[in-house]
Amino acid sequence: MAIATSEYGLFIGGELVEPASGEVRELTEPATGAPLARAAMAGEADVDRAVDSAREALDGPWGKTPPNERSRLLHALADAVVANRKELTELETRNVGKAITSVKGEVAVTAENFRWYASALGTIAGRSTPIGGSILAYTLKEPIGVCAQIVPWNYPIMMAAWKLAPALAAGCAVVLKPDPATPLTALRLGELSAEVGFPPGAINIVPGDGPTTGVHLVTHPGVDKVAFTGSTRTGSEIMRLCAEPVKRVSLELGGKNPIVIWEDADLDLALDSVIWSAFGTSGQRCTAASRLIVHRAVHDEFVGRLRDRVGRLVLGDGLLETTDVGPVINETAVERIAGYAEIGRKEAELVIGGEPARDGDLAKGSFFQPTIFTEVKPDARIAQEEIFGPVASVIPVDSWEETVQIVNSVKYGLSSSLFTRDVNLAFRSIRDFDSGLGYVNHGTIGAEAHLPFGGTKATGNGHREVGQAALEFFSEWKSVYIDYSGKLQRAQIDTTFVDQE
């Protein structure tokens, strides 16, 4: 049955289909509250169908697709994203709510990720290893199999590309679960993949809730690997679910990222970076700068200038080019952020913001004022817990030793930043700050298609997104031995020291 323009089915077996669950969810725009679309939600039977479709593709046409053809298809999908960038940008902006100036870059990065892996898949290779005698030994890199991929609501199209591109390059088949609130651009990517020629079943997209659809997908016996981006709490539960069957799992989780502003910092540059890192995308990104650790020598000047800049930020509909800060994802998020703002009032000094934004047209959407707290203690809840909103805590410091201790005092280790003119201190920050991403004279946000992305401690389980590193965890090593001597030759483990006794 055909799906109308304003309705979205599940993408299974190369086409949009209606859900066996019968569940369809009404989606609204976070900026205006206006109806946006009706999207199908997958139930257990739909997940079963998607996994079966992926397995059939892997055992059939997709599994037989040679690397050069996989590369061509990934390039074609990148071209399709570029050709449809205006539609994808508007759809993402309306679904998530963030400023369109940000989304334009995210759609461009989406295309770049497909294009980078189209070229990088040529590096998926084993190697020959001489071991002596009449034996040939070599290694192969093989696709890990059917991959379940779960992406969050804040970067639907870019996170989908981060997951899909390396898995497809490695030759895996995928069942992708976007967040039920923001599935639209991921589903459109599915359609584009069919249009450019990906075999049915290579890519399947099934939106749904985590406790039902997500759990069934993660625990499905037909899934060989799980890749998840989201909260640390959910990631921990996924690890538990994958433990008994010893299923491959990679996790990219939370962050509580610091920007350190030293006494010799270029304050103009630091201010520009803080505004973008703390309040861009309304603070709804894992790399958002939620802690500003400022040397006391420049603390008062910096806080005063930051207050003035934040006070001039324009809140509004993300579709408007004049908007600096869009809405947060929904009213539940508004209430959560407001709860942290109330906690902050008891723990520190409120500089600006601290309330939902309800004036004029903003009353129609889910907006929260950009918020700054100062004189924040390092162990305060607002300095320790991930708020995921436009809230920044300023922590004054006097020494480098104190700074390092505060930077590393949280359970996360995703991104860190230092602003200084001292090259020696810059290199000390890379050595001393416990994080997977380290920046100097740059904010905490950003990612490149060719560089590993991820963090330490509770930010993940050691794997990395993007770049060559991501290809590694979508493939398996196989060691091959060919003995052409015509007689028994014992392996190294059976001969070492034995012949010397």
Which of 23, 98, 141, 163 is flagged as catalytic? Answer: 163
Structure tokens at 239: 């690890």
Reply yes or no on whether 465 is catalytic: yes
| Terminal-residue alpha carbon distance, the chain | 76
Q: Is 293 helix (H, G, I), strand (E, B) or coil?
A: strand
List, in order, residues 6 or more apart from 75 with CB less than 8 Å away. 114, 115, 118
Catalytic residue selected from 29, 106, 112, 252? 252
Query: Rounded to an integer, what distance in angstroms lies between the CA atom of residue 432 and that of residue 409?
Result: 12
SS3 474: coil
Alpha-carbon span 207 to 43, nearest angstrom: 9
The C-alpha atoms of residue 338 and residue 413 are separated, in whole angstroms, by 25
Annotated active-site residue 286? The verdict is yes
Q: Are 216 and 239 in contact (CB under 8 A)?
A: no
Amino acid at 246: V
Q: Is 454 exposed, middle or buried (0-12, 13-18, 19+ CB in 10 A)?
A: buried
Task: From the candidates 286, 347, 386, 472, give the one annotated as an active-site residue.
Answer: 286
CA-CA distance, 484 to 193, in Å (whole number)?
A: 45
Pairing of strands 146-150, 173-177: parallel
Q: In whole angstroms, what is the distance from residue 30 CA to residue 95 CA?
A: 7
Does the annotation count 487 as an active-site position?
A: no
Beta-ladder partners of 137: 481
Q: Which residues contact 137 (CB under 8 A, 6 or more apart)?
A: 128, 129, 130, 131, 479, 480, 481, 482
- Provide the sign of the torsion angle of the four alpha carbons 380, 384, 386, 391, taken in this order: positive
Active site residues: 163, 252, 286, 465
